[in-house]
Amino acid sequence: MLSKNMEKALNAQVNWELYSSYFYLSMSSYFASVSLAGCAGWMRVQAQEELFHAIKIYDYINGRGGRAIMETIAKPPADWKSPLHVFEEVLAHEQKVTGLINSLVNLAVDERDHATNNFLQWFISEQVEEEASVGAVLEKFKLIGKDKSGLFAIDLELAKRVFNPPTP
């Protein structure tokens, strides 16, 4: 059974994951509006992953005797200066999520909630992968600068990404 403190913290993370999905959908729409379909698709996959994360935590809360509570989701930004700027924001966002997950782990350790600590280890590994993936894309955008042919090539590469829900 979850402590009330852990339940509240996990519910806050559900909201953050839902916001993350919303954030990436907004980025997807931005990319679609500037004719970068590959980037738009990449962000749409990112949005799906974040929704998967929210539901995974939601199910955990309910499965441990708590109650997942849906709160208001903040409105994300809608415009960015450039594709590079978008991916800079994605990396900063993922780093913030990593910090939030680490705080949840710290709370689980403090409360000696070994089951939740174990559950959260999947998210720790996921965040390592998320930051590396986004960091690699960001570095490519930095390399090409304002080269339009490079932008075209990155867009084609990012179009290959598909959502594969992780298996339990």
Q: What pLDDT band is residue 168 in, cutting at 50, 70 and 90?
A: low
Nearest CA to 101 out of 137, 74, 129, 76 is that of: 129
Q: What pLDDT band is residue 62 in, cutting at 50, 70 and 90?
A: very high
Read off the pTM: 0.94
CATH number 2.60.40.1120 given to 4-158: no
What are the residues whose beta carbons fall under 8 Å from the beta carbon of 29, sequence distance 6 or more? 40, 78
CA 120 and chain centroid, separation: 15
Which whole number is the average pLDDT over 74-95?
97
Average pLDDT, the chain: 96
Domain limits of the chain? 4-158
